[in-house]
Amino acid sequence: MKGIILAGGSGTRLAPSTDSLNKHLLPVFDKPMIYYPLSVLMLGGLREIMIISTPEDTERFEKLLGDGSGLGIKLSYRVQSEPKGIPEALLLAEDFIGQDDVTLILGDNIFFGQGFTTLLRNAIKHHKHATVFGYRVKDPERFGVVEFDHRQQVISIEEKPEDPRSDFAVTGLYMYDFRAVQIAKRLKPSDRGELEITDLNKEYLKWNQLRVELLGRGFAWMDAGTQESLFEAGEFIRTTQQRQGFKIACLEEIAFYLGYISKEALYEKGKGMEKNDYGQYLMEIAERKHNQQYWYSIDHHPMLGLVENE
């Protein structure tokens, strides 16, 4: 399976902060926003990932992340000239996807929770056609809403319904087989002039091939696309990291525990940022790898627990 991060758009909801900078490069507490969706794909075991962004910002992402070799993965980039809807990412990445399955994640989505890696990898392992992730929200009328039966089979999916049939929103994380590209080609723009991801999901639903994975209690899903939600996400990350002592979406840590990079490479990466907390954190991991007490804490890491058990 391959991965795609859609990190384009105009970011108007975050203006003026985004007047000269892509919102996915804005910091969510101590790291760029793009780190969070990229960490999800890495935790899922995906190593071939494409980042889709604007003509102005693609070079900035390349400067930040390079070709991915420093993380033991392979990154490529594709330009989206103007935002035409989420399914357009599949069209832009048609040659990249080929005959493979693909996981598509929106660049401003943040996921967190004990056992998330296990849930994610199980979803990938059992994936067949199309999989969406549902999360309970207080205001479902603002989202795409999924309705399902007692067997967790999808019954309906609607975009921002006035009278929602459930309070489970569809998050910005989607898994598809390679047919999604051809389905996206047949979609017609909505009234707002964009291809809608809900319409693509409905096509799979017609064939009874749309599956939902529910993120229950203990999971957090945040869309950092507004000033308020960006601030809330930053506060959540700050508070959680300070209380637990772990960093969320630390790409180098994930790469290290997945065996993609060496202890020496991890230490050198930290050494280059030793004047800040992030760099010191990387150096500490590299130095304490064989400390029994530290191994215990990593086993209970809310994002990395599965890594230590594989």
Q: Structure pTM?
A: 0.91
Q: Which residues contact 270 (CB under 8 A, 6 or more apart)?
A: 252, 278, 279, 280, 281, 282, 283, 284, 285, 286
237-251: per-residue pLDDT in tens? 999 999 989 999 999
Least confident among 49-63, 151-165, 176-190, 255-269 = 151-165
pLDDT(179) > 90: yes
Residue with tokens 């230490």: 267
State residue 226's pLDDT score: 82
72-127: per-residue pLDDT in tens? 999 999 999 888 999 999 999 999 999 999 999 999 999 999 889 999 999 999 99
State residue 293's pLDDT score: 43
pLDDT(275) > 50: yes
State residue 304's pLDDT score: 57
Q: Tell me if 183 sits within 8 A of 205, measured CB to CB.
A: no
